[in-house]
A = this chain, B = another copy of it.
Amino acid sequence: MKDTSPHEVDTAVRAAYEAFHVGRHVDLSTRASWLEAIADGLARNEAALVAIADRETSLGKPRLESELRRSIFQLELFAGEIRQGEHLDATIDHSDPHWGMGPRPDLRRVNQPVGVVGVFGASNFPFAFSVMGGDSASALAAGCSVVHKAHEAHPDLAEQTAQTVAAALESAGAPPGLFSLVAGRTAGENLVDHPLIKAVGFTGSTAGGRALLQRAQSRPEPIPFYGELGGINAVFVTTAAWQRRRESILKEYVNSFTLGMGQFCTKPGLLFVPATGREELRRLLSEALSGFTPIRLLSSGILEGYERSVTALRDQSEVDVLVEGTFAPQPAPTVLHTTGADVLAQPELLRQEMFGPASLVIEYEDDMKLPDLAGLLEGQLTTTLQTEPDETPTNLLEVLAGISGRVLWNGWPTGVTVSYAQHHGGPYPATTSNTTSVGTAAIRRFLRPVSYQSFPPGLLPEPLRDENPWRVPQRIDGRWDRPGQS
């Protein structure tokens, strides 16, 4: 797919803007049906799409099929969410002459879509964070239109997916231009700069994300930049857990950090374990890794970056190698090693993301030091505690909640469900905002509230009318009324 010219980007954004103004007038059920039409279109084209993805990536059909299923499910879940009107936060304050600070006028607030959204596709999820991934789905659910910047790692899939989406939207009666695709680095920059773009969703590297964040904030009109920049994902194993089940913990750890060749933002990149001895760790890890068959990384660029990051960490004098990997096209996993004392002296050791099948094991001396060690970490998408129920360091849990978007108990961070309670985000550098890019709450990013003061009933948006024609949840004078819920 060839790069989109500045003129073509402008045309796409203007068409998206027109579509936004047509599309914003439909009711929730119609908008939900557009998402469902896209879901149906993707499902009908599953075989063809997965075949293209399989050709353009090395991820393999089972993974690709489940990723596409996830993307389809996500559209259906979001359709259900907006059909309920949960995302509107419709709030009605009737006029009140006795309001505590003085007479209150009739005031009503509802969330409205922000406009045209620019979405950047990710290399590592050809479906779930690409053309019709979480950012695109949540922006469309919010009522926005989307111009998507394809990731160059799977261009044919991007084009085919976009065609599927466009055909589905057309057949469902959505306005033309509601969704479109652009390609190329310059097109991405043009997108962030375009005055009609009102928000950006991004999944990618910290360096690239940071540059685009600055760009978005330096526009004449700064706009929100929802960047999911990656993760280190520290896992802490207590002495109690280590004594009872170190072998299974290491087996599960290896499964998690090598899953998808470690090309997940939720890959466990750090494992804190009690002092054990390098030889014992080496033996256990080699055993756990023994049956592993590597596959190709997503691109040669990722392989180069992977080698660079692993080498940079390995070359630190405080770091040694537990399991020697390779940087072949199908790289064997690498496990590095350091100690709690070393990272206390040099916390930067904990901040090197290695995007690929590598992880760092840190041996610590004393469970009491775990909160201090956790305190060295930057913001994390996830942190995990492996422990025994009766011996839980609650002070460590508090530190973990303070630096993470999601905290796991005796689990592993790879595998991110799409649901109501999901939060896939975290303090910087995990993300650039306090929002989530996964789950129904992701829709909120692309909405902004508007209040209406003293409006005649007939001119209010439907969700704000007393007779509630759309039967959405309404907070009325401070109390919620949910007609859809018995």
Chain A contacts to B: CB under 8 angstroms: 66, 69-70, 73-74, 76-77, 91-93, 99-102, 104-105, 107-109, 112, 114-115, 213-214, 217-218, 221-224, 378-379, 389, 392, 394, 397, 401-402, 404-411, 417-423, 425, 427-429, 432-434, 436, 441, 447-456, 459, 473, 475, 477-480, 482, 485
Quick one: given A105-B411, A473-B480, are A434 and B448 in contact (CB under 8 Å)?
yes
Bound-complex Cα distance A394 to B458 (A): 11
Q: Do B73 and A101 touch across chains, with their CB atoms under 8 A apart?
A: yes
Quick one: given A76-B100, A419-B107, are A408 and B453 in contact (CB under 8 Å)?
yes
Q: Do A409 and B456 touch across chains, with their CB atoms under 8 A apart?
A: yes
Residue of B107, B224, B402 touching A417 (CB-CB under 8 A): B107
Residue of B101, B105, B419, B459 touching A74 (CB-CB under 8 A): B101
Q: Do A73 and B91 touch across chains, with their CB atoms under 8 A apart?
A: no
Q: Do B454 and A409 touch across chains, with their CB atoms under 8 A apart?
A: yes
A-B contact pairs, 21 of them (CB 8 A): A76-B100, A91-B420, A93-B420, A93-B422, A101-B417, A101-B418, A107-B421, A109-B420, A221-B428, A222-B432, A405-B450, A406-B452, A407-B450, A407-B452, A408-B453, A409-B454, A423-B450, A423-B451, A434-B447, A436-B449, A480-B480
Question: Can you name the residue of chain B whose Cβ is closest to the Cβ of A214?
Answer: B217
How far is the CB of A399 from the nearest CB of chain B, in Å? 10
How far is the CB of A258 from the nearest CB of chain B, in Å? 20
Q: Do B222 and A213 touch across chains, with their CB atoms under 8 A apart?
A: yes
Bound-complex Cα distance A473 to B475 (A): 13
Q: Do B428 and A114 touch across chains, with their CB atoms under 8 A apart?
A: no
Q: Do B401 and A112 touch across chains, with their CB atoms under 8 A apart?
A: yes
Bound-complex Cα distance A213 to B213 (A): 12
Bound-complex Cα distance A221 to B473 (A): 37
Copies of chain A in the complex: 2
Q: Do B450 and A104 touch across chains, with their CB atoms under 8 A apart?
A: no
Question: Can you name the residue of chain B whose Cβ is closest to the Cβ of A444?
Answer: B434
How far is the CB of A323 from the nearest CB of chain B, in Å? 28
Bound-complex Cα distance A77 to B478 (A): 10
Quick one: given A101-B70, A107-B422, are A459 and B394 in contact (CB under 8 Å)?
yes
Bound-complex Cα distance A455 to B389 (A): 10
Bound-complex Cα distance A378 to B221 (A): 9
Top 5 A-B residue pairs of the complex, sorted by shortest distance between their CB atoms: A434-B448, A73-B101, A423-B451, A91-B421, A93-B421
Question: Can you name the residue of chain B whose Cβ is closest to the Cβ of A74?
Answer: B101
Q: Do B217 and A407 touch across chains, with their CB atoms under 8 A apart?
A: no
**Residues of chain B with a CB closer than 8 A to A478's CB:** 420
Quick one: given A449-B436, A482-B480, are A419 and B99 in contact (CB under 8 Å)?
yes
Bound-complex Cα distance A61 to B93 (A): 29
Q: Do A109 and B417 touch across chains, with their CB atoms under 8 A apart?
A: no
**Residues of chain B with a CB closer than 8 A to A102's CB:** 66, 69-70, 417
